[in-house]
Structure 1
């Protein structure tokens, strides 16, 4: 796996997401179509773990969170950007999702959760906001952002 292979893998996923509403039904569809243990979930999870080990994912660090935008929104990824974070028992900076956010949760510690969600997919609708939080251990989270849109808020204590 290399960054170019990773982008091709992501493009296969985003091809199935293009044009779909970013809402709760998409989260249900993702968890039914590509559940934990499916070939697609396992391939994405493995690619994320490999990228972190090899240093081309999560190659920045701030406040105990490793992160990085590996893919900017392009036609190749159906206008989704891709960020991956590596978090352990920590809350990240509060932000808003202007067009929504699609997350793949890959626990590195058994039982680790992301915003209370176990391994699998989580979808935030357009206009939603949160402080991304990993609890009960360590997890990688892959973020797909339509048009790469994310707005960090000034109030780091907002919930």
Structure 2
């Protein structure tokens, strides 16, 4: 699995998304079209593992979170960027999604969850915000951002 293979897989996913709005219906569509135990997600997971091992994915680190943006905004009708993070029982920085966010959750540990969701696809609508949080172990989370847009915010203290 090479970086070109990864790029091709993500191009296919972005093309399948097409002009669909980023909402819960898209999440259901992606989970049906690209199920977590299906060939496409398995190929993406293999590409992520290979990329992390070879150093072309998640080569950056901040506070225990490893991350990278291997694909700049360029994919599909939404000009998606692709980011990949590795998190292990931690919470990331609060941020907002001006155009929404599409996550593919790839648990490394069987009980790992991202924002209380297990393996598969999760879609945040435009204007949403959160603290990305992994509990129950280690997970790789791949996310597509329309136009690469993400806004790190100063959330209210809890």
Which TM class, normalised by the smaller chain length? over 0.9
Q: Determine the C-alpha separation between the residues in 2 that align with 1:19 and 1:157.
A: 36
C-alpha RMSD of the superposition: 1.2
Any unmatched runs of 5+ in structure 1?
A: none
Moved over 2 A (4+): 154-158
Q: Verify: 1:99 aligned to 2:99, yes or no.
A: yes
Shift of 1:157: 4.6
The aligned length equals 156
The answer (yes or no) to whether the contact 1:59–1:66 under 8 Å persists in 2 is yes
Q: Verify: 1:144 aligned to 2:156, yes or no.
A: no
Q: Determine the C-alpha separation between the residues in 1 that align with 2:53 and 2:13.
A: 23
Partner of 1:84: 84
Shift of 1:117: 0.3
Q: Verify: 1:12 aligned to 2:12, yes or no.
A: yes
Matches within 5 A, 1:2-151: 2-74=2-74, 77-78=75-76, 79-151=79-151
Deviates more, 1:149-158 or 1:115-124: 149-158
Any unmatched runs of 5+ in structure 2?
A: none
Shift of 1:153: 0.4
Q: Determine the C-alpha separation between the residues in 2 that align with 1:157 and 1:36.
A: 35
